[in-house]
């Protein structure tokens, strides 16, 4: 006796239902993976932004250190300061910041007091949400030689003279450019570099 058409139709429906379930599962897995990738990207953006914000601490410290001294013609390792341009990579990063074997010294241009250690809670700060960052910085004057500033051997900031006539125009001494380079070491072996130039 041959099977009835009704039984045959039930078998076909079962196959279609299984195929539909497989397609739905594949779609669900793809959606979950897409969401995980999006969450990871958002987390990375937030992490990068936090590293940038924390690098401002080193920038402020460097500017405060230079504004408090007039002896800018010679090197001052206590301030992470070089009166001449430091040797740099093709990207413009001073090579002393790339030395990770002795990070407290930063290639001879740093001391432990100039390392901003954010791997533990600072005084008065909560022990939760510690950034887990270490920040190093160096300052170099954009000059070829130590000593007095010369527009022939230093990169200087241009400034226009206001007022005056003829040969009696006041002479404005050249102002050298300074470069602050910051290295931020974070969790998972992450590392970022930041740079700014200014004149004093």
pLDDT in tens, 77-89: 778 888 889 888 8
pLDDT cut 90: percent of the chain above it: 0
Residue 167 lies in a domain: no
What count of other Cβ atoms lies within 10 Å of the Cβ of residue 60? 11
Number of domains composing the chain? 1
Residue 97 lies in a domain: yes
Residues with Cβ within 8 Å of 91's Cβ and at least 6 positions away in sequence, in order, are none
Measured in whole angstroms, the distance separating CA 162 from the mean position of its chain's CA atoms is 38
Average pLDDT score over the chain = 74
Provide the residue range defining the domain that includes 28: 5-160+172-199
Say what the pTM is: 0.64
- Contact indicator for 135, 91 with CB cutoff of 8 Å: no
Residue 132 lies in a domain: yes
Residues with Cβ within 8 Å of 48's Cβ and at least 6 positions away in sequence, in order, are 192
Residue 165 lies in a domain: no
- Give the lowest-confidence range in 5-14, 79-88, 177-186: 5-14
Q: What is the pLDDT of residues 94-138, one digit of tens each?
A: 888 887 666 555 545 555 556 676 666 656 655 566 667 788 888
In this prediction, residue 20 carries a pLDDT of 87
Residue 101 lies in a domain: yes
Residue 29 lies in a domain: yes
In this prediction, residue 102 carries a pLDDT of 61
Residue 63 lies in a domain: yes
The answer, yes or no, to whether residue 27 has pLDDT greater than 60, is yes
In this prediction, residue 13 carries a pLDDT of 80
């Amino acid at each position: 006796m041959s099977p009835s058409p009704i039984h045959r139709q039930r078998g076909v429906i079962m196959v279609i239902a299984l195929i539909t379930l497989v397609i739905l599962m594949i779609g669900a897995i793809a959606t979950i993976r897409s969401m995980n990738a999006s969450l990871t990207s958002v987390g990375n953006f937030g992490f990068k932004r936090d590293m940038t914000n924390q690098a401002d601490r080193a920038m402020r410290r460097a500017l405060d250190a230079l504004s408090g001294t007039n002896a800018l013609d010679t090197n001052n390792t206590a301030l992470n300061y070089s009166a001449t341009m430091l040797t740099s990579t093709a990207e413009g990063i001073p090579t002393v910041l790339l030395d990770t074997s002795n990070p407290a010294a930063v290639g001879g241009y740093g001391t432990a007091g100039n390392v901003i250690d954010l791997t533990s809670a600072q005084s008065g700060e909560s022990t939760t949400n510690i950034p887990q960052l270490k920040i190093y910085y160096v300052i170099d004057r954009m000059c070829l030689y130590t000593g007095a500033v010369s527009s022939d051997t230093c990169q200087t900031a241009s400034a226009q003279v206001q007022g005056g006539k003829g040969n009696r125009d006041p002479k404005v001494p050249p102002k050298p450019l300074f470069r602050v380079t910051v290295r931020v070491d974070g969790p998972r072996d992450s590392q970022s570099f930041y740079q700014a130039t200014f004149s004093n």
